[in-house]
Amino acid sequence: MRIAYQGEPGAFSEAAARKVDGEAQLVPCRSFEEVFDSVDAGPSAYGVVPIENSIGGSIHRNYDLLLAHELTIVGEVELPVVHHLLALPGATLEGLKRVYSHPQGLAQCERFLHTLRGVEVIATYDTAGSAKMVADSGSTDAAAIASARAGDVFGLKALASGIQDFSDNITRFLVIGRRPLRNAVADKTTIVFTVPNEPGALFKALSVFALRGVDLTKLESRPIPGRPWEYLFYADLAAARDNLTCSRALSHLAEFAPMLRTLGSYPSWKPAVAGALPDPFEVVS
């Protein structure tokens, strides 16, 4: 099985992909778009993309890509994220002039970065990719914020470890594909919908879940391209799509929502599942 992820070997997305199937062939991609395209076109059976971080917030680009592609969310993975400041042997904190990382990595280590005086902070496409850039540069005045594995892969040493702002730094990843994963029964559903531009429209939309006791674990808004000041609403529901109560709530919402689409109904991430790793998830054939 092939699983696509964004970044270089050593990226946190690679670690998340290994939690889906430790024996899978992992396919590194330059961008999130390439991950979706790899699954869409068929070379990869699944893709793993980050959707939110407990410190840095949502990764908006992946919300947009979920809508742009006809792929289904089939699972999720939560990954504790520990950041390290990596540099070539011989480098020192005092000698640093540049620090590279993905914007999310930089946002998650903001407090530490403020302690580095006279250092330029540069955003790049990937945490592990930043480690590769530092290694390839041969410069001891540059460093990258990335994982410990990225340091091992690219021969870098840690000048500082655990530099994220908060110890409970967790990234949630979505698993996308065309076939379901059979590791557990679905108990979570992600939808996207629009509402009429009238007073109380969003309240009315959310009330279909509140009145039936369906818990919304996340609500995210994104602008609709070409329609200024109109929005798409993404919602995570703590119930399976075919659960009777959830199904009735969605049917009610469909009665007045101009657009409603289910992006996936899948098993939520649970500590019990995490404890079972690295056994691979079963895949429906």
Query: Taking the CB of residue 89, how many other CB atoms lie within 10 A of it?
Result: 8
What are the DSSP E strand ranges found in 41-137? 46-53, 57-58, 72-80, 84-87, 98-101, 120-123
CA distances from 175 to 20, 45, 57, 105, 267 (A): 8, 10, 18, 21, 11
Environment class of 279 (CB within 10 Å of its CB; exposed 0-12, middle 13-18, buried 19+): exposed
12, 173, 193, 281: the active-site residue? 173
> DSSP characters for 67-86?
HHS--EEEEEEEEE---EEE
Tell me, yes or no, if 173 is annotated catalytic.
Answer: yes
Paired strand residues for 269: none
What is the rounded distance in angstroms from the CA atom of residue 24 to the CA atom of residue 164?
A: 30
Radius of gyration of the chain (CA): 20
Residue 125: other Cβ atoms inside 10 A: 15
Q: Which of 127, 171, 189, 194 is catalytic?
A: 171
Whether 171 sits among the annotated catalytic residues: the reply is: yes
Cα 5 to Cα 79: distance, rounded to the nearest angstrom: 14
Cβ neighbourhood burial of 281 (10 Å; 0-12, 13-18, 19+): buried
DSSP state for residue 95 in the 8-state scheme: T
Q: How many angstroms separate the CA atoms of 245 and 252, rounded?
A: 11
Q: Annotated active-site positions, please?
A: 171, 173
